[in-house]
Amino acid sequence: MIRPANIQEMNSVTIKVGDEDLKLLEEIFKNEEDFKPQVKQDYLLIGIMRQVLDNPKTKLEDETNA
């Protein structure tokens, strides 16, 4: 992932991603060698999606019953 040289601090964020979405990301990254990023925004999106796959997962309780 390309990062600007002047990054002073990083942030951690939490997002909710469904199991089917994770499977879809896994399918997308099976073709990672074919990715052809054109601009720095492409590298950013690829890096974010890669982190979604690589970072630990925590199953959430069904919030509709809370």
Candidates 64, 56, 1, 53; CA nearest to 24 is 53
Has residue 13 been placed in a domain?
Answer: no
Host domain of residue 39:
19-54
Position 9 scores a pLDDT of: 85
Crossing angle of helices 19-29 and 40-54, in 10° steps, is 120
pTM: 0.72
**Number of compact structural domains in the chain:** 1
Has residue 26 been placed in a domain?
Answer: yes
Position 6 scores a pLDDT of: 63
Position 8 scores a pLDDT of: 65
Return mean pLDDT, the chain.
Answer: 86
